[in-house]
Amino acid sequence: MNVSKPFTALSPSVDLDVLAVLAGSSTPRSGREIARRAGRSKTGVQHVLDRLVDHGLVDCLHSGRAQLYSLNRDHLLAGTVEQMAGARMELIYRLRDQIGSWELPAAHASLFGSTARGDGDVHSDIDILIVRPMDISTDDETWRKQIDDLADSVRQWTGNHAGIAEVSAADMRNQYSKRPPVLEQVRRDAIDLAGEPAKTLLQGL
């Protein structure tokens, strides 16, 4: 699934791009602004807006000579539209819930990379950094099952591969002293999921 544009799992059409913009907007927007945010032509977007207004899913407000559009959140389909638009946040909630319930808690867990930035596509990995506590062996059966179950869940939830970068707390400083690219991505993009916050974890590294 393209987590940054989850509507495309159903259809790559202009309609869904327009609805994604409207679902993420708290104020009415012009057709030109919607087209810019959707990355689509103004003509194509205007045709879609006119049709969605006819269906009642989109409201059109006349402000002087301008026409401003917003999602009709009272419409029967509005909840479905908002749920699809919120798929990325739902993924974050599910990751936090699953990792937070582990029998052997992670010292740290965070989402990073394209999914954290919101610019991935259907082929992007769901990148997750997991820091294993010092007192837990890499071969611990319970720990390994937690990691494997997490990878399986990500695949089931999204269809994407889970790119899990696992490192022990003891080796964290040694392995990351050379500032590899993954560390810079975590430092820049991390969304904390469990354990010690990324900002604290990376202090001094």
Beta carbons of 17 and 5 less than 8 angstroms apart: yes
pLDDT band at 180 (very low <50, low <70, confident <90, very high): low
Beta carbons of 169 and 205 less than 8 angstroms apart: no
User: What's residue 9's pLDDT?
Assistant: 60
164 forms bridges with which residues in the sheet? Answer: 128
Domain total of the chain: 2
121 and 91, same structural domain? Answer: yes
93 and 192, same structural domain? Answer: yes
Output the domain CATH number for residue 75: 1.10.10.10
Q: Which residue has the tokens 């089931």?
A: 156
SS (H, E, C) 132-173: ECCCCCCCCHHHHHHHHHHHHHHHHHHCCCEEEEEEEHHHHH
94-134 residue pLDDT tens = 999 999 999 999 999 999 988 888 777 778 899 999 999 99
Question: pLDDT exceeding 90 applies to what percent of the chain?
Answer: 58
Across 56-72, average pLDDT? 93
Q: What is the pTM of this model?
A: 0.74
Q: Of 84, 100, 115, at which residue does a domain stop?
A: 84
Q: Please, what is the Cα angle at 68 between 65 and 71, to 5 degrees? A: 160
192 and 124, same structural domain? Answer: yes
